[in-house]
Amino acid sequence: MTETTHHRICPLCEACCGLEIKVDSGKVVSIRGHATDVLSAGYICPKAVALKDLHEDPDRLRTPLIKRIGVFEPATWRQAFEEIERRLPPILARHGRNAAGVVVGNPSAHKIGLLTYFGKLARALGTKNVFSASTLDQMPRQLASGLVYGHWLSIPLPDIARTDYLLVIGGNPLVSNGSMWTVPDFRGKARDLRARGGKLVVVDPRRTETATMADTHHFIRPGSDVFLLAAMVQTLFARDRVQLGSVAGWVNGLDAVREAIQPFTPEAVSARCGIAANTIEALALSLVDAPRAAVYGRIGTCTQEFGTLASWLIDVLNAISGHLDQPGGTLFAKSAAFAANTAGRPGVGKGIATGRHHARVSGAPEVYGELPMTCLAEEITTPGDGQIRALVTVATNPVLSAPDGPRLATALEGLDFMVSLDIYLNETTRHADVILPGLSPLEDMHYDVAFPQLSWRNHARYSGPVFPKQEDQPEEWQTLLRLAALVQGKGIDTDAGLLDDAQFAEDAERLFGAKAPDLIAATAHYKGPMRSLEVALRTGPYGDQFGAKPDGLTLEKVIASAAAGGIDLGELQARIPEMLRTPSGKIELAPPTLVADLERARADLGRPVPDLVVIGRRDVRTNNSWMHNLRTLAKGPFRCTALVHPTDATRLGLVEGSQAELRNGARTVRAPIHITEDMMPGVVSLPHGWGHDLPGTRLQLASQRPGANLNALLDDQLRDPLSGNAVLSGIPITLHPVESAA
Ligand SMILES: Nc1nc2c(c(=O)[nH]1)N[C@H]1C(S)=C(S)[C@@H](COP(=O)(O)OP(=O)(O)OC[C@H]3O[C@@H](n4cnc5c(=O)[nH]c(N)nc54)[C@H](O)[C@@H]3O)O[C@H]1N2
Ligand SMILES: Nc1nc2c(c(=O)[nH]1)N[C@H]1C(S)=C(S)[C@@H](COP(=O)(O)OP(=O)(O)OC[C@H]3O[C@@H](n4cnc5c(=O)[nH]c(N)nc54)[C@H](O)[C@@H]3O)O[C@H]1N2
Ligand code: SF4
Ligand SMILES: [Mo]
C-alpha cells in the first residue's frame, strides 16, 4: 500500500489551522499540524485529530433519511427529493413564501459550499424568516462594525505579533482558539508578547485558562461590560487623554461620544461591574500609556443585553487611545477574496441598513438579512398570516444551541414539514421529515470565505478533498441548489450543474456588465464554489485581474501552494481610509442609534445585582453541540460540570462532586458541582451544547454521557434589541443540592 499526504485546513474552529493528513488504503493514518502552513505554522489542538473519528463515525449519516410513521428509513437521493417535492411546494403555494423558515448554523462558516450557496436557497424561498447562529453569537460585533466602518465584516484585529498591551474582555482564546479573530496558537503568541515585555490583561467572571497565563485578571459581573467600557471611555475624556493618532482626519462624532459618555464615571459603574473605580481608571490609562495597545472583546461581550453597545465601545476605546489602524494596535485584514471592504470604490460605500423588515410576532428588526434565532419558536407556534409551517435547517442544532431548547423542540414537532441538511440524526434533525446528509469535511474542497477577513496575518490557502466522495452523493452546494430549484417549481430532474451555470451567468452580468461573457468563458472549467472562488481571487486585491497583472493570484496558483502551506500575503497593514465603506467616507464613531442606546444603559445602571447568575464555558475538547460523539474527544473527565465559588457552595450547602439543580423559574437542569476559586462569587459556570439524552437521536457515544443542556435553562425572550442577539450570559438562577430539591 502507498501512503499519500494531503494538506487541508481544519474546519472545526475559527483558528483554521493547516493540517498534514496521511492516508493509506482509504484510511486516515495520521493528522498533524502542517509545519510550513503560512498561518498556523504547525499548531493544532486535539480536535483536529478527531477529524478521523468524524470521518469514520458509524453514526455520521451517509444516505438520506425519510421519516415514515415516526421512524426514519434510509432512502435514495431521488426518493428524498421526491418526498420534499411532494410536501414542501404545496405548503408555500397555499400559505405564501413566509410560511417557510430557514436556519443555518456554525459549521457552514467552515464549508465554502454551504456558505456561498445558503443565500441562494434563502432567496429562492423568498421568505423573511431567515435565522442563523449569528444571533446566538457575534451579531452585535458585526452590527457595530457595520455602523462604524460601513461593513459587517470589517473587524479591527489586535496586531498580536507587535503589540505591547493586549486587553481581552469576554473571550478565552486559549480554549476557544480565538473567535472573530483567526489566531492559531494564541498561547505561543501571547507568550511571545510577554517575553518581549508586553502585558496581557483579562476581564472575565471566571479566572479562565487565558486569565491564568495573563499578567492581570479582573473579575467582572456578567453583563456589565458596557459599563466598564463606557467608564474607560469616560476616563480618557475626563483626563484629557484622548488621542486619535493616524486616524485623526478620518473620525466623525468624537464630540457626540464625549457628550453621551459623561454619566458613566468609574464611580457610577463600579458597583455594577464589581470592579473598583481606580482599577477602571488604571485600565483606561494603561491603553494610552502603552506605545502599542489593543482591546479585544469576544462572545462574553456580545451575548448580553447591551452587546452592540459593548462591541461599539471597544471600537471607541481602540480609536481614542490612538491605536486604531496602527501596527501593534488594531488593524484590518486585507483578504484575497470575497471581502466587501476590498470591493468597489475605495474609501466610501453604502454603509449598512437594518430593520428592512421585522419579525411578525416580536417585531424584532431584521439585521444583516436575518431575524433573531430567539424568535424562531414563536414564529412557528403563533398562528396567523406568515406563520412558519415548513422549515429547512442547514448545519444547525438549535434544540441544544439556542435558548429554551425544549420550547423549540415542541415547536419543531408542530411543523407541517421539515428538511435538514446535516451529518447527524441529532436533537434537532430528529424533528425533520427528511434528512439530507452533507459530505464529510475530508471529502470536500474548501477555501475560507470569512476567516481571512479576520486573520492575524494575510494569506490565501486552498484545501482539496482528502478522499473522493461516494459517487451518488451530491456536494452540499448542489443539494442547496436543487432545493432552491425545487421551491421555484423547477422539478427535481433539473441538473445542478446547469442551474449553477445559469446562476453564475446572471451574477456575472450583474457584477461585471460588458465583461461578463469573457468571464463566463474564462472560468467555464470550474464549477460551483470553485468558479466563484476563481473570480473572487483573480478580481481581488492580490488578483491577476484576468491577465492584467500576470504576477497576481489565480485559483490555480493558490491550489498549487497547498503542499507548501499556502500563500503568505504578509502582516496586517494600515488600511484607513481605503477600507471604509461608510457613506461619509469617515469612521462613524458616534452612530446615532448607538448613542441613543446609551440612555437605555444609563437607565439600567442602578439595577440590583442578583445573588447568583449563570454563564457559559467552552472546553478545548468540545465544539458547541456536535462533537461529543467522537471517541478521541469524548474520553477523559466529564466536562459538563457547574463551577461554583467556595463561598457560594458553603452558603448553598453544596459539596464537591454532588449533583445540584440549577433553576430559572420553572426551568431546571442538573449537573455535578465543582467548587473552585476560579469563579467570581455569585457566578456559576456551566458549558453549553450538552443534553444528549433526548429520545430519537442516533449519537451512540454522546448519549452515554449526555450532560445537562444549559440552554434548557435560558429564556428565549431576552435579547439585545439592536442586534437581536440572544442573552446567554448573566442569567439569574438559584442553585440547590439535589437531595433537598423536592
Ligand atoms: N448558552 C449558550 N449557547 C450557545 C453559545 C454559548 O456560548 N452559550 N454559543 C453559541 C454559538 S457562539 C454558536 S456559533 C452556536 C452554534 O449553534 P449551531 O450553529 O446550531 O451549531 P452546533 O450546535 O455546533 O450544531 C452544528 C450542527 O451542524 C451539523 N454539522 C456538522 N458538520 C456539518 C457539515 O459538514 N455539514 C452539515 N450539513 N452539517 C454539519 C451538526 O451535526 C449539528 O447538527 O451555539 C450558540 N449557543
Ligand atoms: N474548544 C472550543 N472552541 C470553540 C468553540 C467550542 O465550543 N469549543 N466554539 C467556537 C465558537 S462557535 C465561538 S463563537 C468561539 C467563542 O470564543 P470565545 O469568545 O473565546 O469563547 P468562550 O470560551 O466562551 O469565552 C467567553 C468568555 O466570556 C466569559 N464571560 C461570560 N459572560 C461574560 C460577561 O458578561 N462579561 C465578560 N467580560 N466575560 C464574560 C466567559 O467566562 C468566557 O471565559 O469559540 C469557538 N471555539
Ligand atoms: S484550533 Fe483545533 S479545532 Fe481549531 S482549527 Fe486549529 S486544530 Fe482545528
Ligand atoms: Mo459561535
pLDDT in tens, 146-183: 999 999 999 999 999 999 999 999 999 999 999 999 99
Are residue 150 and residue 297 in the same domain, yes or no?
Answer: yes
Q: Which ligand is nearest to the CA of 182?
A: 3
* Helices 528-539 and 496-512, packing angle to 10 deg: 20
- Return the closest-CA partner of residue 54 out of 691, 562, 703, 699: 699
Has residue 672 got a pLDDT over 80? yes
- The CATH code of the domain that includes 28 is 3.30.200.210
Q: Give the position of cell 469616560.
A: 234
CATH number of the domain encompassing residue 714: 2.40.40.20
Q: In testing the pocket of ligand 3, which one of 34, 45, 110 has its CB within 8 Å of the most ligand atoms?
A: 45
Q: What is the pLDDT of residues 70-120, one digit of tens each?
A: 999 999 999 999 999 999 999 999 999 999 999 999 999 999 999 999 999
Write down the H helix ranges in 196-326. 209-213, 225-238, 254-261, 266-273, 277-289, 299-302, 307-320
293: left (phi over 0), alpha (psi -120 to 50) or beta: beta
- Grid cell for residue 367: 439585521
pLDDT value of position 201: 98
Distance 245 CA to ligand 2 centre (A): 31
The enclosing domain of 172 has a CATH number of 3.40.228.10
Number of domains in the chain: 3
> With helix as H, strand as E and coil as C, how does 331-365 read?
ECCCCCCCCHHHCCCCCCCCCCCCCCCECCCCCCE
For 618, the domain range is 610-740
Q: Residues 184, 16: contact at Cβ < 8 Å?
A: yes
Say yes or no: 640 and 717 in one domain. yes
**Which long-range contacts link 210-216 to residues 24+ away (Cβ below 8 Å)?**
210/168, 210/171, 210/172, 210/173, 210/174, 210/175, 210/186, 211/172, 213/174, 213/187, 214/168, 214/190
What is the 353 CA–ligand 2 centroid distance (Å)? 28
By CB atoms closer than 10 A (0-12, 13-18, 19+), residue 69 is exposed
Q: Which of 29, 49, 69 is the last residue of a domain?
A: 49
Going from the Cα of 314 to the center of ligand 1, the distance in angstroms, rounded, reads 26
Q: Please give the Cα distance from 366 to 384 (Å, whole number).
A: 20
Ligand 1, from 304, 423, 618, 667: best to mutate by most atoms within 8 Å of Cβ? 423
Shared domain for 641 and 598, answered yes or no, is no
Whole-number pLDDT of residue 741: 43
Q: How confident is the model at residue 512 (pLDDT cuts 50, 70, 90)?
A: confident
Q: What pLDDT shows up at residue 742?
A: 43
* Other C-beta atoms lying within 10 Å of the C-beta of residue 591: 23
Q: What is the pLDDT of residues 350-381, one digit of tens each?
A: 999 999 999 999 999 999 999 999 999 999 99
- Supply the pTM of this predicted model: 0.97
- Kindly report, residue by residue over 393-411, the tens digit of the pLDDT: 999 999 999 999 999 999 9
CA distances (Å), origin 331, targets 157, 189, 284, 575, 577: 5, 17, 20, 7, 12
The bridge status of strand 587-588 relative to strand 251-252 is parallel
pLDDT of residue 496: 85
Direct distance between the N- and C-terminal alpha carbons of the chain, in angstroms, rounded to an integer: 63
Q: What is the pLDDT of residue 491?
A: 86
How much of the chain, in percent, has pLDDT values that exceed 70?
99
What does the pLDDT average to over 611-621? Answer: 96
Decide if 408 contacts 169 (C-beta within 8 A).
no
User: Measuring from atom 2 of ligand 3, which residue has the nearest CA?
Assistant: 45
Mean pLDDT, range 620-629, rounded to an integer: 95
**658, 694: one domain:** yes
Does residue 100 form part of some domain? no
Q: Which residues contact 568 (CB under 8 A, 6 or more apart)?
A: 38, 457, 458, 459
Q: Is 343 exposed, middle or buried (0-12, 13-18, 19+ CB in 10 A)?
A: middle
Give the relative orientation of helices 592-604 and 254-261 as an angle to the nearest 10 degrees: 10
Give the chain's length.
Answer: 742
Confidence grade of residue 145 (pLDDT, cut at 50, 70, 90): very high
The pLDDT assigned to 375 comes to 98
- Is residue 289 assigned to a domain? yes
Q: How much is the pLDDT for 112? A: 97
